[in-house]
Amino acid sequence: MGVTLSRLTLWRCFFRSLFLQAGFSTEGMQSLGLVYALSPALQALYQDPERRQAAFKRHLTPFNTHPYVAAAIVGGILFHEQRIASGDEGPEPVERFKALLMGPLAALGDGFFWLSLRPAVGAVSVALVPLIGAWAVAFYVVAYNLVHFTARWRLFRFGLSLGDELVPRLATWKVPAWGRRLRVVTAAVVGGTASWLAVRFGVQASGWLEPALDGASLVFGVVAVFLLTRKVNAYLLLYVSAALVIALAAFGVV
């Protein structure tokens, strides 16, 4: 490969990829953020203003993917742009690479990070609050970002070194299987937490009321899940249940 990017330029591109969604719009979506991330590399690779402008313009087309796994696409684009700048290939492969990968990688990132890892770490942290207090927040931020930043950096390196070959490498990570396991953890932890909150409600009372409230609040939790599966609005449920409890207190029941 004739033209290569310096380590500093690569770091700048990686850092700027953390701003991918800053200029999000309903038209270009993340295109502005993508060009912002690529900017140091494109300026280093293309001294000729016309070639540089052409490079910028080919990445100003609509672009949308998961912000974490976008690091793989940013790395892959840099892999291709180095080859384009060296004259080893034309602009078509990089455009194809972007168009082919952004959809599947968005699905992979949404499924794992947004719908599996984040709920699992969030649920475990909430469950830890009664045990370790504010340290649960430290656990949340550290545990989540250990996976998040490791994945982001490794995906960037994969894209940069493997280009189109990063897909088979990603398949070896077995991301969907890890996502399924984490979703089971989430369901178990939030179930346990719901039960803990319900019993806590009962222990505020004393005498005969305590077991009655324990049982009633556990049943209430089950009813709440049932109503939510029946598409009852969650906000409505929140306000109606609070109003019921306030009414019970007003009548001296609790």
Interaction residues for another protein, span 134-173 (CB under 8 A): 134, 136-137, 140-141, 144-145, 148-149
Closest distance between another protein and the C-beta of residue 92, in Å? 21
Between 22 and 171, whose beta carbon lies closer to another protein? 22
Closest distance between another protein and the C-beta of residue 63, in Å? 11
Per rule CB under 8 A, count of chain residues that contact another protein: 94
| Alpha helical stretches, state H, the chain | 7-16, 31-45, 49-58, 70-86, 92-109, 118-132, 135-162, 166-171, 175-203, 209-229, 234-250
Between 144 and 173, whose beta carbon lies closer to another protein? 144
- Measured CA to CA, the distance from residue 43 to residue 117 in angstroms comes to 36
**Interface positions, 99-138, toward another protein (CB under 8 A):** 106, 110, 114-116, 118-119, 121-123, 125-126, 129, 133-134, 136-137
Distances (CA, A) of 142 to 121, 148, 152, 162: 10, 10, 15, 29
Distances (CA, A) of 114 to 92, 156, 206: 32, 19, 42
- Measured CA to CA, the distance from residue 94 to residue 28 in angstroms comes to 18
Q: How many CB atoms lie within 10 A of CB 197?
A: 14
Backbone angles phi, psi at 29, to 5 degrees: 55, -115
**Interface positions, 169-198, toward another protein (CB under 8 A):** 180, 183-184, 186-198
Between 10 and 213, whose beta carbon lies closer to another protein? 213
**Interface positions, 33-92, toward another protein (CB under 8 A):** 33, 35-36, 39, 49, 52-53, 56-57, 60, 64, 67-68
20-24-29 Cα angle (round to 5): 95
Closest distance between another protein and the C-beta of residue 170, in Å? 20
Between 162 and 197, whose beta carbon lies closer to another protein? 197
Classify residue 62 by its DSSP letter. Answer: -
Closest distance between another protein and the C-beta of residue 165, in Å? 27
Between 167 and 245, whose beta carbon lies closer to another protein? 245
**Interface positions, 217-236, toward another protein (CB under 8 A):** 217-218, 220-222, 224-225, 228-229, 234-235
Alpha-carbon dihedral sign for residues 117, 123, 125, 127: negative
- Binding segment for another protein among 24-32, 93-101, 153-161, 167-175 (CB under 8 A)? 24-32
Backbone angles phi, psi at 63, to 5 degrees: -145, 130
Closest distance between another protein and the C-beta of residue 87, in Å? 22
Between 132 and 161, whose beta carbon lies closer to another protein? 132
Q: How many CB atoms lie within 10 A of CB 244?
A: 11
